[in-house]
Amino acid sequence: MEIYFTKLHGNGNDFILINELQGTVIPDDMKAAFARLYCDRRYGIGADGVLFLSGSATSTFKMRLFQPDESEAEMCGNGIRCLGKYLYDADLAKDFCTVETIAGEIKLELKGDEDTFSAVVSMPVPKFDRPDIPATGSGEYRETIADYEVYAVNVCVPHAVVFVEEIANVPLDEVAPIIRRHPSFPQGANVNFVEVAGEDELRIRTFERGIEGETLSCGTGATAAAAVAHHLGYPGTKSKAPVGTTVEVYTRGGPLTIYLGETTRMEGPAVNVYTGVITF
């Protein structure tokens, strides 16, 4: 038995893509276990998730994303750009397509030439159901992040956004898991520590649920951070730099551009790393 795959990344957020346009490759009841096994960076291929590309009754294509902890994510900003890169390289889509996800239909604008590729993703409008969530909860929670104020926004995935003076000084591995599992987020949350770097510029570090660690980039996290910064200003910082409707967000893996307004869009690169085959 042979399973063909493509390894891609968006600003270092990496994925294994399985093409199921011609039929099921990994049975649905095995997809979660497949992700756990092959996302392992020592005993598998290594990735932050597995993308399954298939046909759709409502959109041009369909994307499902399974994470290393066997959970299925609603959507992924970097992952869907990687899907777009695969479609572009395979001549399955060149300019525009729509993708069915758990979070709804996502529109993709594809931009490429011989040397570069980027995609503009139509993101769901950020929802501020609970615009700010102060650090309340158990005594341990207050003690651990007593100086942090946590903001909640949903960009098809629940996010916690925390503004700090310098993201380099954040004890992310210590603090982020507590916020990620706090009762304020019944479904859990990706946790983003954000530094206002300048006019319309943010720096960000993200701890992702499902991966249960820091990733080099998170597209929905960058969108969430830009949306909160624009919506609420720059809380928790001494910066007086304005945060407008076009925001450059610098993740550890590279920049993403977020466009806010009547629609919310994210633009960034995606790279095909290699193709391979798993043999049994």
Q: For residue 205, what are its two tokens? A: 């570090």
Residue 23 DSSP class:
S
pLDDT digits (tens, 9 = 90+) for 221-243: 999 999 988 877 664 454 555 56
Q: 163 and 95 in one domain?
A: no
Answer yes or no: is 129 within a domain.
Answer: no
Q: 257 and 170 in one domain?
A: yes
Q: 242 and 144 in one domain?
A: yes
Domain count of the fold of the chain: 2
How far is the C-alpha of 64 from the C-alpha of 62, rounded, in Å?
7
Q: What is the pLDDT of residue 16?
A: 98
Q: For residue 273, what are its two tokens? A: 């790393």
Q: 257 and 143 in one domain?
A: yes
Q: 87 and 28 in one domain?
A: yes
Answer yes or no: is 10 within a domain.
Answer: yes
Q: What is the pLDDT of residue 148?
A: 79
Backbone φ/ψ region at 160: left (φ over 0), alpha (ψ -120 to 50), beta: beta
How far is the C-alpha of 182 from the C-alpha of 251, rounded, in Å?
24
Host H or E run for residue 208: strand 201-208
Q: 147 and 39 in one domain?
A: no
The set of catalytic residues is 76, 218
Q: What is the pLDDT of residue 231?
A: 78
pLDDT digits (tens, 9 = 90+) for 121-134: 999 888 876 656 65
Q: Check: CB of residue 231 under 8 Å from CB of residue 266.
A: no
Q: What is the pLDDT of residue 151?
A: 85
Q: What is the pTM of this model?
A: 0.90
Q: What is the pLDDT of residue 233?
A: 64
Chain center to CA of 182? 20
Backbone φ/ψ region at 272: left (φ over 0), alpha (ψ -120 to 50), beta: beta
Q: 94 and 162 in one domain?
A: no
Look up the domain containing 251 and give its range: 139-262
Helix axes 219-232, 77-89, angle to 10 degrees: 130
Q: 197 and 164 in one domain?
A: yes
Q: Check: CB of residue 270 under 8 Å from CB of residue 85.
A: yes
Q: 236 and 181 in one domain?
A: yes
Q: 255 and 169 in one domain?
A: yes
Strand partners, 121: 108, 266
Answer yes or no: is 108 within a domain.
Answer: yes
Instruction: Give exposure, 44-54, as e/b (b: 16+ Cβ within 10 Å).
Output: bbebbbbbbbb
Answer yes or no: is 96 within a domain.
Answer: yes
Q: What is the pLDDT of residue 143?
A: 29
Q: 49 and 7 in one domain?
A: yes
Q: What is the pLDDT of residue 40?
A: 97
Q: 231 and 144 in one domain?
A: yes
Q: What is the pLDDT of residue 132?
A: 60
Beta-strand relationship, 254-259 and 264-269:
antiparallel
Among the listed residues 161, 151, 147, 260, the one whose alpha carbon sits nearest the alpha carbon of residue 207: 161
CATH no. for residue 195? 3.10.310.10
Answer yes or no: is 146 within a domain.
Answer: yes
Q: Check: CB of residue 141 under 8 Å from CB of residue 130.
A: no
Q: Which residues of the chain have pLDDT under 70?
A: 129-147, 233-243
